[in-house]
Amino acid sequence: MKYPTINWPQVEIPADWRKMVAKYQSPEAGRSLWQLANSLIPYILLWAVMYWSLSISYWLTLLLAVPAAGFLVRLFIIFHDCGHGSFFRSQKASDVVGFITGVLTFTPYYQWRHDHALHHATAGDLDRRGVGDVMTLTVKEYLAAPWWKKAGYRIMRSPWILFTVGATLNFVIFQRFSHRSGGKRETMSVVWTNLALAGLITGLSLLVGFKEYVMIQLPITMLSCSLGVWLFYVQHNYDGTYWVRHEQWDFALAGFNGSSFYKLPRLLNWFTGNIGFHHIHHLSPKIPNYKLEQCHRENPALQVPPLTIMRSLKSLWYRFWDEDMRRMVGIEALRRFQRSSMQQ
């Protein structure tokens, strides 16, 4: 595969972009509460129907897990907006709803909010990687790494691992532990989330049985984790994204050219809370998810070339950032780089 060199920036960002996004930054309590209701209530009802379906056919249970996972992803988007303070005007309301939806999605609210804020502050910065992102090595870094690090990186970046067992382990297991990057509040959010999860799992197990709980929750969690990790991955790891060294890094360019406009069908946009308008979200995390599409539609200067579903599938094979070519590349680029180095 041949990769043409990309020159940055791909799309000129308007000088008055802050003024453009400012009018969409106010959450509306009515719309937020309605979104919470039309996400949480169907999820609970589907969970109950899945329990009922166990007496009929487990294949029916697994089929029902698909829409249930969609509603869980939608609840995660609400959790995400609460972390940005864009779902309610009240920070207290955001924190309460954020904690509850965090328990449902197996994610400690304050720790995730801290790490995700770092992601927004460092996305596309090669010198500030490692917190709140999918780890990405440059070609040179990978070739200089010891064998064990190369093996670990290849396993971690494999789509057969990253979007399956890796995604589930991240939310179900890894999120049960605090990170060194956080403070006391972030650590305690892990503790309280774990206690709330233990109570929820115990209560549901006593109500329906532990085996039945696992048979219902596991497929929902696996599907939602896979979709969630894919959405996060593809919105920063695609052909045309933005990575530069810190001295060249710019917040607006990183958001505008380093976050994709993932063009999804309307139904998927609904279930994913318009997160496909990711370049708008990175320019202004204070915009509620239900206003992202409106901001994009009403401001042609903020519209970028879309990343279609078919084109996004190529991202499955990207592994490294090539600093010389300034683009994401796959395994085959290592051979090209090594041949080039030998010729020099």
Phi/psi for 94 (5° steps) reads: -60, -40
Q: How many domains does the chain have?
A: 1
For the beta carbon of residue 68, count every other beta carbon within 10 angstroms.
26
Question: Is 2 part of a structural domain of the chain?
Answer: no
- The residue assigned the tokens 């206003």 is 291
Host domain of residue 336: 17-343
Residues 6+ apart with CB under 8 A from 257: 8, 9, 10, 11, 13, 240, 241, 242, 279, 304
pLDDT score recorded for residue 7:
41
- 137-138: strand order across its sheet: 137-138, 320-322, 327-329
Q: Is the pLDDT of residue 2 over 70?
A: no
Residue 261 lies in a domain: yes
Residue 219 CA: distances (Å) to CA of 53, 79, 216 = 14, 21, 6
Do the domain assignments include residue 11?
no
Asked if residue 1 is part of any domain, the answer here is no
Inside any domain, residue 283: yes
Instruction: Give the pLDDT confidence of 216-257 residue by residue, as tens digits.
Output: 999 999 999 999 999 999 999 998 899 999 999 999 989 888
pLDDT digits (tens, 9 = 90+) for 21-51: 999 999 999 999 999 999 999 999 999 999 9
Band of residue 343 on the pLDDT scale cut at 50, 70, 90: low
pLDDT of residue 153: 94
182, amino acid identity: G
pLDDT in tens, 171-227: 999 999 998 777 899 999 999 999 999 999 999 999 999 999 999 999 999 999 999
